[in-house]
């Protein structure tokens, strides 16, 4: 089977594909593991580019941890290009333009994570290389790769084990990425004004009443600049802030036993009724119902 833009979108959603060449033997198996989707990709020679997510509150706003098992994969982002071979690990930010090229048969695992979650868990360092890379020679690289394969092979339904395994992987990546950085080449991770806004929101997510005015004061720019930067990326400051808060709350609702009010206030909502209204509008179901449905699924598995 040859690769098509629709098949590529299974791994890189909401990213228009350009310049697709080759892709014979393209095959993807995907599994859900906690908050992540893990893809096992095999393909022949292929090349394409991705424009990057057009909105910061949609499915394209993801980070991808790429584990090359065999073959070679060239990944280009932010003006930098790196060729990965067996044993190498790289982090791609799907909200930025990207090029990928396979010169030979490729076997790779790709863990797709919501960007807000990845930023909170292991991408929150300020100075790292534009191409986030863990080389095969780093002592923990084989351990991280083995964990990824184990997580992919995990029996469906082992939610607790999946959550623990994913946490182990990102904790190791959090340590590995800075260790593999060339300090002389380190640059701020977030590019442009929107990147600064994203980082500001992530760092202050639990602050009630967070506003574009707060962002402007922190970033030393005008409120108009905040509004224009968000609009240029298909969103608004309040819409993006609410999206991150709601998806964070959903994750905590499904993975913890914290009270719904505790979760709502913990992600920055000052009104429980306002949280409940937005949650139902976003997910089509009340937070209480989602929590009850989780309990029903757990009981059935037991």
Domain of residue 260, CATH code: 1.10.10.60
- Summarize the chain as % helix, strand, coil (round to 5): 45, 25, 30
pTM across the whole model = 0.71
Range of the domain at 207: 192-301
Predicted confidence (pLDDT) per residue in 250-263, tens digit = 878 877 888 999 99
| One domain, residues 250 and 165 | no
pLDDT, mean of residues 18-45: 93
Which of the listed residues 145, 169, 187 is the one where a domain comes to its end?
187
Predicted confidence (pLDDT) per residue in 46-72, tens digit = 999 998 776 665 677 788 999 999 999
pLDDT, mean of residues 292-301: 52
Contacts of 168 (CB under 8 A, 6+ apart): 147
Contact (Cβ atoms closer than 8 angstroms) between residue 255 and residue 297: no
Q: How many CA atoms lie within 13 A of 129 on its CB side?
A: 22
Contacts of 56 (CB under 8 A, 6+ apart): 95, 194, 198, 230, 233, 234, 235, 240, 243
| One domain, residues 158 and 58 | yes
Contact (Cβ atoms closer than 8 angstroms) between residue 51 and residue 77: no
> Which SS3 state, helix, strand or coil, does residue 295 take?
helix
Q: Which of 215, 210, 289, 277 is nearest to 246 (CA)?
A: 277
d(CA 2, CA 139): 36
| One domain, residues 221 and 181 | no
To 10 degrees, the CA torsion angle through 109, 115, 117, 118?
A: 50
pLDDT, mean of residues 252-276: 90
Task: Report the number of distinct structural domains present in the chain.
Answer: 2
Written as six digits, the tokens of 24 are: 């014979």
Q: What is the pLDDT of residue 186?
A: 52
């Amino acid at each position: 089977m040859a690769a098509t833009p629709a098949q590529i979108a299974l791994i890189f959603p909401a990213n228009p594909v350009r310049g697709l060449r080759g892709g014979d033997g393209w095959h993807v198996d995907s599994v859900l593991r906690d908050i992540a989707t893990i893809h096992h990709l095999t393909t022949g020679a292929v090349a394409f580019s991705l424009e990057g997510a057009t909105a910061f509150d949609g499915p394209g706003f993801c980070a991808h941890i790429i584990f090359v098992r065999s073959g070679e994969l060239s990944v280009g982002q932010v003006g930098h290009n790196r060729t990965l071979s067996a044993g190498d690990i790289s982090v791609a930010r799907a909200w930025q333009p990207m090029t990928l090229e396979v010169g030979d048969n490729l076997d790779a695992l790709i863990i797709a994570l919501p960007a807000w979650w990845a930023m909170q868990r292991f991408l929150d360092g300020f100075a790292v290389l534009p191409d986030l890379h863990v080389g095969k020679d780093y002592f923990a690289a084989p351990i991280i790769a083995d964990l990824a394969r184990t997580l992919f092979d995990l029996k469906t339904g082992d939610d607790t084990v999946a959550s623990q395994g994913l946490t182990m992987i990102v904790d190791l990546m959090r340590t590995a990425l800075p260790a593999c950085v060339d300090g002389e080449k380190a640059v701020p991770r977030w590019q442009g004004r929107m990147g600064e806004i994203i980082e500001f929101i992530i760092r202050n997510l639990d602050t009630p009443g967070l506003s574009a005015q707060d962002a402007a004061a922190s970033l030393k720019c005008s409120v108009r600049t905040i509004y224009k930067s968000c609009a240029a990326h298909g969103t608004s400051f309040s819409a993006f802030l609410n999206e991150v808060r709601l998806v964070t709350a959903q994750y905590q609702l499904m993975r913890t036993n914290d009270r719904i009010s505790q979760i709502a206030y913990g992600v920055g909502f000052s009104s429980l009724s306002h949280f409940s209204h937005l949650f139902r509008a976003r997910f089509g179901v009340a937070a209480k119902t989602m929590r009850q449905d989780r309990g029903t699924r757990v009981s059935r598995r037991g």
